[in-house]
A and B are shown apart, each in its own frame.
Chain A
Amino acid sequence: MSAPVLSLRSVTKRFGATLALDAMSLDLFPGEVHAIVGENGAGKSTMIKTMTGIHRPTSGMVEIDGDPVTLTGPHDARDLGVTAMYQEPMVFPDLDVAENIFISKTDEGLLQRPADLRRRAADLTARIGMRLDLDRLASQLTLAEQQAVEIARALSQDVRVLIMDEPTAALSAHEAEQLRAVAVRLARQGVAVVYISHRLEEIFEIADRVTVIRDGQHISTRPIADVTSETMIAEMVGREVDHFFEHVPSKARAETVLEVRGLAREGVFEDISFDLHAGEILCMAGLIGARRTDVALALFGIAPATSGSIRYKGSPFSPPSPRAAIAAGIAYVSEDRRKLGLAMPMSIRANITLAKLSDVLSPSGFLRRRREIEIARAFRERLNIRAADVETAVENLSGGNQQKVMLAKWLTVKPDLLIFDEPTRGIDVGAKAEVHQLIRDFVADGGAALVISSDLPEVMAMGDRIAVMREGRLMDILDNAEATQERVIALATGQAPMQEAS
């Protein structure tokens, strides 16, 4: 094997009292895809940030080609060929694709020649196998296209180490597939690719070696052939996780909570019909763009349907607004917890009590702080929200714990129907299992849950029944027993025909 491009030598990073990286050592070789796995909070982000110069190690050093380097910022790292891309693509929404690609190139001269820029941008996008409209503004691109822009930007600067941090978390199966192909292609061209993902199946598909880290420490680095998902998960969480992705038999009851018939919103989705019973989890599977969220928004009164009918708890129901939906006992946990779900700088306490302030108001209209704290503490206990105390700002929590805070907020309204949009996107396996359990507990108490998820293993594990959508149409509803991942994918991608009124 050739010499490593980039190495961490016993790198330690402290933030105040917190030890984020503990004597971490790692070698990255050209031409290989090196997967790094670990739970949220294991130190992956901090590690990346020391590689890209955003953080400086408290002790230890970063070496490039065997020479110690001091990186003072992303600018330095880029000059040395080290680039990172994140789950949220770092694009400039107001600039066009070509400009986005070349924005960080430094030796471009003063004058920008659009025609020349476009030609070279086309070369780069061809190299990663994507065809993009180079005149389009980045704000008009899909997430996958934005990520392609970021990769092209890295290539514009002779990238030697490309760090991909959860690049596929928000992509549809097809887009993720494409992105993985790009990662492999770049590795074959001699780039050292660092690939971070919570989707273990991706890692088995493309990684050459896997490093597991936990609590800021290096646990193991092995060739992919020597690991199984069980050993990997065990090392990540430091304990055995049993029955991780196993379906628990349905506890559905006879009473129907929701009856949807021929629901449509013009130009968005059409002819959606399904029932949802108390005690049941109905999963909605499909590719991104299948309009699953739009159906949820219609049920929640944000973007009401234009035709069709909804019966909720036995009577006709068409919520004109989220307020009405909430009053009727429907909660919608958004997929975008940062934008639509949580007040990030506010405390856990304030976020949890936000949805039902009437519970914590005194008769004179003042907030009863002590009652608030009580409620928040109870939920922290119940949902196992890991934080020093309930006054911690939500932005300082890991993704999994943020998700739990959001769930707690909606549980305060004591909903009968919980719509959960991408409940575990971007959170680690341990927290995933906990969130799953919380949803199961919710339905076990007689609630009904509609779970939208793009994560197939999750759909298979959670869904008592699985509704598959494609381009605004409901393709079929499968019982968990008859559903297979292959079958769901086939329906979601249109490889299998739509079922007539099942």
Chain B
Amino acid sequence: MRLIDRMGPQTLRLLALLIVLALVLGFFATQIPNYLNGRLFNRISSAVAIMALIACGQTLVILTRNIDLSVGSIVGFVAYATGMMIHQFPDMHPLLLVAFSMLLGGAFGAVNGVLVAYARVPAIIVTLGTMAIFRSMLVELADGSSINTSMLPTWLVNFPNQQLFVLGDLQFRAGFVTALAVVVVAHVALARLRPARKLYAVGSNPEAAEMAGINTRATVFWAFVLAGALTGLAGFMFLARFGNITVVAGLGFELQSVAAAVVGGVNIFGGSGLVLGAFLGAVLVNVIDTSLVRWQLVTEFWREAVLGALILTSVAVDQVVMRRLTRLRRAGRSATPGASARPAPGASAPALGGSSAPHGAHGSSASPGATGSARSGSANKGSDRQEGQR
């Protein structure tokens, strides 16, 4: 069996993203002189360190078929509050300070979670509301002043840029390595921990999750809390990296994080996606963003439009690459005996005699009927409601 045959569709998705990333880097390398170097890596890795954490949290929420638009405000508030905290208590232990920021973020997440999971208000409305509320709370907290680097201990300011190790030209700094570690841990946890698989189950088919005895409300609640905590951690990193925190800190991060997750292959309708995908999505969006600033062909006025167009293009290319890879894999699979489902010999139907599974091939072919059927389960929410309500 070739390597590609053993990859799940999600792994293929990561591969497709890496290919697109390479294409984008290759493209800008032809446009911008002296493009691929260590400085580019540093610039992107420090920006991604913050966005990757938020995108990771956003992924948890999107997986459950929800969305969190309040992450930008949470980053801002947590960054500011954490700055005040360390200013007041300069001797506070670093880990305690990290815990503080994560708890604070988690508390914001819990507010969202309660409203979405238990009060049953759609997430987009809840978090649109809390986005504004949390931001206003920050304005109130700041009361016209701002945090600046001079109020922070040096360990904190130096932390993100601390060089941990060097690979050739590339410097791996503490901020980036921390974020990467969190992403990897979250990725593995989502793939292998049973409670985490419930996030996928709930987003994949909420009704079936309920029927299967999964506590869907608690699952959604904890997704928001964890997202809040990860966003809180991002707030901490934001404070450490920039040092200067005003009331606009983190503005627009909600859209960037959703973009990162979706570009990274997280299904906006829930149920599928990988944290590593969201991470690569964050990298891709950031690479495009940073490179556009240096691309002489594009004036400042057009940058946003080009960014949007490039994101759309990479999503499209990603789809094409993904389809190619899937086809490559299918070609390999169909040659493998036993790959398609068929009834065991003992169960063959007596009435139909020797007819060996009339359309055995149907299951493995990509017929619209076969692949569409599962999704229809969720579209058919009314299916067993009709009798009860009459």
Q: A residues bordering B, Cβ < 8 Å? A: 15, 18, 20, 40-46, 48-49, 52, 55, 73-75, 78-79, 84, 86-95, 99, 103-104, 106, 108-112, 126, 129-133, 135-143, 145-146, 153, 165, 172-174, 177-178, 181-182, 287-290, 293, 336, 338-339, 344, 395-399, 402, 470-471, 489, 492-495
Contacts and interface: CB of A to CB of B under 8 A. Distances in A.
B213 interface: yes
B352 to A, nearest CB: 5
Contact of A493 (B204, B355, B390): B355
5 contacts: A49-B388, A136-B341, A146-B377, A289-B367, A470-B358
Interface stretch (B20-28, B32-40, B74-82, B187-195): B187-195
A40 to B, nearest CB: 6
A142 B373 CA distance: 7
Point out which of B370, B374, B385 has the most chain A C-beta atoms below 10 A from its C-beta: B374
B359 A396 contact: no
A93 B386 contact: no
B154 interface: no
A139 B359 contact: no
B212 interface: yes
A130 B213 contact: no
Given A20-B387, A55-B388, A289-B358, A95 B197 contact: yes
Interface in B170-208: 192-195, 197-198, 200-201, 203-205, 207-208
Q: How large is the interface on B (under 10, 10 to 19, 20 to 34, 35 or more residues)?
A: 35 or more
Nearest to B362: A289
B201 A398 contact: no
A344 B195 CA distance: 34
Contacts of A42: 387
Interface in B292-351: 338-344, 346-351
Contacts of A399: 386
A131 B344 contact: yes
Nearest to B336: A133
Given A15-B389, A93-B374, A87 B349 contact: no
Contact of A338 (B350, B370, B383): B383
Contacts of B390: 18, 20, 41, 396-398
Given A49-B388, A399-B386, A93 B213 contact: no
A446 B312 CA distance: 52
What 6 A-B pairs are tightest by C-beta distance, nearest first?
A90-B208, A129-B347, A177-B349, A289-B359, A93-B374, A75-B213
B167 interface: no
B359 A287 contact: yes
Given A103-B212, A140-B371, A173-B352, A178 B343 contact: yes
Nearest to A138: B374
A397 B383 CA distance: 10
B363 A104 contact: no
Contact of A174 (B205, B358, B375): B358
Given A92-B205, A136-B341, 19 more contacts: A15-B388, A20-B390, A43-B387, A49-B388, A73-B213, A88-B383, A90-B377, A92-B208, A92-B209, A103-B201, A104-B212, A111-B193, A133-B340, A142-B373, A146-B373, A146-B377, A288-B369, A338-B383, A395-B385
B358 A494 contact: yes
Contacts of A44: 387
A90 B192 contact: no
Contact of B386 (A40, A108, A112, A495): A40
A18 B355 CA distance: 48
Contacts of A492: 358
A397 B386 contact: yes
A93 B338 CA distance: 21
Contacts of B348: 178
Point out which of A18, A293, A338 has the most chain B C-beta atoms below 10 A from its C-beta: A338
B168 interface: no
A173 B388 CA distance: 29
Contacts of A15: 388-389
Contacts of A141: 341, 363, 370, 373-374
A344 B205 CA distance: 19
A432 to B, nearest CB: 16
Contacts of A104: 212-214
B144 interface: no
A41 B387 contact: yes
A74 B369 contact: no
A112 B376 contact: no
Contacts of B193: 110-112
Contacts of B340: 133
Contact of A90 (B205, B271, B359, B388): B205
B387 A178 contact: no
A494 B192 CA distance: 45
Given A75-B215, A336-B376, A130 B371 contact: no
Contact of B352 (A49, A94, A145, A174): A174
B266 to A, nearest CB: 11
Given A20-B388, A174-B355, A93 B204 contact: yes
Contacts of A172: 358-359
A400 to B, nearest CB: 10
A94 B376 contact: no
Nearest to A286: B358
B357 interface: yes
A95 B352 contact: no
Contacts of A87: 383-384
B272 interface: yes
Given A95-B201, A178-B347, A471-B359, A89 B377 contact: yes
B334 to A, nearest CB: 12
Contacts of A95: 197, 200-201, 204
A131 B385 CA distance: 32
A34 to B, nearest CB: 19
A472 B349 CA distance: 22
Contacts of B342: 131
B183 to A, nearest CB: 20
Contacts of B194: 108-112
Contact of B339 (A133, A287, A339): A133
A207 B382 CA distance: 28
Point out which of B8, B195, B204, B387 has the most chain A C-beta atoms below 10 A from its C-beta: B387
Contact of B370 (A129, A133, A142, A395): A142
B389 A396 contact: yes
A91 B194 CA distance: 17
A54 B340 CA distance: 36
Point out which of B207, B212, B362, B371 has the most chain A C-beta atoms below 10 A from its C-beta: B212
Nearest to A128: B347
B150 interface: no
A137 to B, nearest CB: 7
A470 B362 CA distance: 12
B379 interface: yes
B341 to A, nearest CB: 5
Contacts of A41: 386-387, 390
Nearest to B333: A133
A453 to B, nearest CB: 16
B1 interface: no
A92 B204 contact: yes
B376 to A, nearest CB: 6
